[in-house]
């Protein structure tokens, strides 16, 4: 999900402008100056035949005619998915009759280059390239009483290549879809856990357009007074 928050202001902006037609027409303003961007990013992956959500936030710059982005982000596996891995390991331990299981906590920094191949009034298409570095705590616990047996840190160096498409349905809201593949540079233990395809989909909220329209609305109010 890109261009986060501010969706609560959409009805306000729509009524403040010239009606529904204005709201349904995407913004056609062209910008080439350097700008700041911040995005929430939630991705689903398939690891060990289980679905895992990796959540992150990234921030950086947008530049040029096509508003390409370079961002730095921080990502982690959320609690529910950690628990899924723990439960999976426990089940496997029982099947092979061992008295321990392992689980992994993953955190990493991620540098993303987001070049837009198409940047029109309605459509945005990109091939994002990413490289990250982080760590994961791999622990082994007793199956009976959950006592920690040993703990080890592994390095995680993922490279990701994806395809991103976005449709600007209205002035303030769009729809986006991204899919790609994540692979670790080296055969660490973590590469076996989290290498694989990923995907994400959701809404895009154009807070930059909202901000400009809010300024125009305020100026009009001042002129009427």
- Cα 200 from Cα 112, distance rounded (Å): 16
Would you say the C-alpha torsion 83, 84, 87, 88 has a positive or negative sign?
Answer: negative
More confident residue, 225 or 205: 205
Task: Kindly report the length of the chain.
Answer: 225
User: What is the rounded CA–CA span in Å between residue 170 and residue 185?
Assistant: 40
Full-model pTM: 0.73
Percent of the chain at pLDDT > 90 equals 24
Q: Which two tokens stand for residue 69?
A: 């982005």
Domain extent listing, the chain: 7-224
Average pLDDT for 113-125: 92
Give the pLDDT confidence of 68-77 residue by residue, as tens digits.
999 999 998 7
Summarize pLDDT for 50-104 with one digit per residue, the tens. Answer: 677 888 999 999 888 888 999 999 998 754 445 555 555 555 545 555 555 566 7
At the top level of CATH, the class of 7-224 is mainly beta
pLDDT tens digit sequence for 136-174:
777 766 656 666 566 677 788 889 999 999 999 888 889
Q: Looking at mean pLDDT, say which of 7-16, 77-86, 202-211 comes out highest.
A: 202-211
How much is the pLDDT for 47?
66
166 close to 174: Cβ distance less than 8 angstroms: yes
How sure is the predictor about 11, in pLDDT bands with cuts at 50, 70 and 90?
Answer: very low
Task: Please tell me the least confidently modeled range out of 8-22, 151-165, 189-203, 209-223.
Answer: 8-22
- Cα separation, 98 vs 140, in Å, equals 12
pLDDT given at position 2: 46
Number of H helices, E strands in the chain: 5, 11
Residues ≥6 apart with Cβ < 8 Å to 17? 23, 213, 217
Find all residues with CB under 8 Å of 204, minimum gap 6, and list them: 1, 2, 3, 166, 168, 173, 174, 175, 176
């Amino acid at each position: 999900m890109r261009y986060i928050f501010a969706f609560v202001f959409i009805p306000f902006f729509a009524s403040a402008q010239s009606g529904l037609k204005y709201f349904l027409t995407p913004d056609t303003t062209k910008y080439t100056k350097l700008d700041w961007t911040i995005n929430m990013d939630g991705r689903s992956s398939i690891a060990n035949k289980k679905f895992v959500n990796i959540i992150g936030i990234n921030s950086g710059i947008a530049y040029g005619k096509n508003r390409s982005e370079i961002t730095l982000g921080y990502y982690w596996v959320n609690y529910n998915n950690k628990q899924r891995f723990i439960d999976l390991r426990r089940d496997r331990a029982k099947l092979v009759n061992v008295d321990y299981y392992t689980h992994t906590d993953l955190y990493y920094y991620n540098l993303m280059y987001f070049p837009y191949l198409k940047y029109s009034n309605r459509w945005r298409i990109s091939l994002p390239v990413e490289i990250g570095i982080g760590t994961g705590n791999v622990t082994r616990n007793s199956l009976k009483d959950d006592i920690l047996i040993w703990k080890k840190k592994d390095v995680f160096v993922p490279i990701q290549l994806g395809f991103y498409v976005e449709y600007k349905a209205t002035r303030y809201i769009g729809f986006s879809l991204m899919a790609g593949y994540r692979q670790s540079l080296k055969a660490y233990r973590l590469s076996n856990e989290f290498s694989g395809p990923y995907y994400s989909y959701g809404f895009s909220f154009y807070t930059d357009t909202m901000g400009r329209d809010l300024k125009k609305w305020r100026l009009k109010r001042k002129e009427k007074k």
